[in-house]
Amino acid sequence: MENKTPNRLENEKSLYLRQHIYNLVYWYPWGEEAFELAAAENKPVFLSIGYSSCHWCHVMALECFENQKIADYLNEFFISVKVDREERPDIDRIYMSACQAVTGAGGWPLSVFINHDKKPFYAGTYFPPWVFLQILKNINRLWQKNRESLMTNSEIIIEKIKPTVFNPEKISYTVVEEGYLRLKYYFDREYGGFSREPKFPLPHYIWFLLKHYQCYRKEEALFMARKTLDEMRMGGIYDHVGFGFYRYSTDRQWTVPHFEKMLSDNALLMYVYTEAYRATRNKKYRKTVYEIARYLSSRLKSDAGGFYSAEDADSEGEEGKHYIFSYVDITAALGDKADLFSRYFAVTPKGNFNGRNILRLKKEISSEDKEIIDQCLNLLRRRRAEKVPPLVDNKILVSLNGLAIAAFAYAGKVFGDDGFIKTAEDAARFIDENMIINGKLHARYCEGEVKYPAYADDYASLLFGLIELYQATFSERYLEKAILLNNFFYERFYDIINGGYYFTDCESETVLFRDKEFYDGAAPSANALQVYNLYRLFALTGDIKLYETSEQTLGFFIGEIKKRPLDSLFSLLSVLMRYFGSVDLKIIVPPDFNRAEILAAVNDLDWPFVNTKVETAENARLEIHVCMKGKCSPPITEFRHLPELIKRD
């Protein structure tokens, strides 16, 4: 039954919320209207949290929220609230913790039952319709006849998820080796990755391994990183036709993905494949970087310079339909080239996904066949262009754009590609011109509307991007912006008593309580990324307060990191840098200095962590100051002597 009456989501900009405007369920956006109504009508609140490119969110919407019986029951006995998790990660974080406390697991769609005071008493993820209706009936019965039991359950949940004040501990290198040993233990030697199934890319795992290898030359670390990168790049989790990585693989072999493509995943993977190239000089990693960049620039980059957040898994109501090919499609498109192509990409009449084929490379393409295979991929690109594409979620989020800025800037630096650097600068300019209102950074831009005070991950990611932009351009304005942004971040988010950054601004809405994010998820946590930023900013500025803040933050969390090192690998990257040490360069040059010459010299250094400060002075001659492990060498005047000063013990 089609509903032609819009609900309270009709004025929202979020694509995810707008997808639910005409549901049979009468949705409200998160806000006081919904909670005041729940209090006035003495009803519980059903809170549904998801995002536009989430396949199972679409499934539950179709099965449950377009189900007349379920919708009628929700509309009569509940107030229903929809939240886009990408717009409100603060809400998502709190209630995801509640779900994990209740069920031991999490995911999206996130389905939570709360009272008008926003206190959760039951939670889960996807529910099939017959189960969901029974849950609704059970909760309504308890709400009417035994509400005390629900509120007792709520108190237990809140006690489990409320923030804990940790005792600061001494930062020890042993936690790095513990993380490394855990990675070795969970590593899949046959297919790469660090689990069986489902399998996520987890770029920060690979980043840690690459840096560990660059520090200590353990071949095992490089093997784990390369095996994972190579298997993903050849697998079905990679889009061999349109490029970019899908969200995750449902199987151990990286063959069958969930087909949504996320800016966060692809930006981080672009950065990590660049790092892999820097560690190995293998050209296939360079090729992958350029392909990811092509995808991001063609599908997720706005005309104004900012990057959109994601591309959906579904098109025409079917997951992966845009991306997969039947055997007939391939033979019709490729003609006499189809047999050769099929041998490389495991194409069969039976297919590997609902009778159709997800392309997966069985072996590396030989130099003799490369030209023909490239022709085949171009032909399939044209065939795919005739299909209905998935929707792109046109939210521009600072947290994700910061990662994209860092990825393009770093790739531009390593490959000497000014086009990449310009892409990073365009995105940074978009944020600067559109997402800072009255001096305050905001989290989301969509169709001209700027909304929500920025969160900790917005600040940490943007700082990361600005630092990488400075390292790629040596333009003083990026370092100055980073310093100003860092000061604002500290003033409004930092816990000066205990250490660490709260997830929300001191003046923002507090949902239950202010917490701190320190465990990594699909991307590095805000505190982990910020500690990394602070160590680098200290190296570039010499401001001791930055070092002290990084030490206090890391010390506050180190005890928890020891308990769960695999969930804290980006924090361990900072510990690794802290103990192994960085090479800190101060280069004095005339105003017309040759940036490419400096970048080439820095890129050739055999050291995992390098921070470069460039200062210009009229009539200056080239002067290179090298500091490492607390000691500075006398200045040199030629780059060719630089490697001689940077020696390993």
pLDDT of residue 2: 63
Query: Is 568 within 8 Å of 204 (Cβ atoms)?
Result: no
Contacts of 512 (CB under 8 A, 6+ apart): 94, 118, 119, 158, 162
Can you say whether the dihedral through the CA atoms of 542, 546, 552, 555 is positive or negative? negative
DSSP state of 61: I
Q: How far is CA 138 from CA 81, 128, 132, 532, 587, in A?
A: 19, 15, 10, 48, 69
Q: Please say if the pLDDT value at position 105 is more than 60.
A: yes
- pLDDT category at 255 given cuts 50, 70, 90 is very high
Q: Which of left, alpha, beta for 196 (phi over 0: left; psi -120 to 50: alpha)? A: alpha
pLDDT tens digit sequence for 385-418: 999 999 999 999 999 999 999 999 999 999 999 9
Query: Is 325 within 8 Å of 391 (Cβ atoms)?
Result: no
pLDDT of residue 648: 76
Euclidean distance between CA atoms 381 and 333, whole angstroms: 10
Q: What tokens were used for 224?
A: 């784990």
Strands 318-319 and 261-262 come out as: unpaired
Lowest mean pLDDT among 443-447, 547-551, 619-623: 619-623
Name residue 245's beta-bridge partners.
238
Q: Rounded to the nearest 10 degrees, how much is the dihedral formed by the CA atoms of 180, 185, 186, 192?
A: 80
Mean pLDDT of 56-66: 95
Query: Is 464 within 8 Å of 529 (Cβ atoms)?
Result: yes
pLDDT tens digit sequence for 142-167: 999 999 999 999 999 999 998 887 77
Backbone angles phi, psi at 319, to 5 degrees: -70, 130
Lowest mean pLDDT among 202-211, 285-294, 315-324: 315-324
pLDDT tens digit sequence for 553-566: 999 999 889 999 99
The percent of residues in the chain predicted with pLDDT above 70, rounded, is 99
pLDDT of residue 41: 98
Euclidean distance between CA atoms 444 and 452, whole angstroms: 6
Q: pTM here?
A: 0.95
Q: Please give the order of strands across the beta sheet that includes 261-262.
A: 261-262, 310-311, 392-393
Q: Please say if the pLDDT value at position 139 is more than 90.
A: yes
- pLDDT category at 170 given cuts 50, 70, 90 is confident
Q: Please say if the pLDDT value at position 1 is more than 80.
A: no
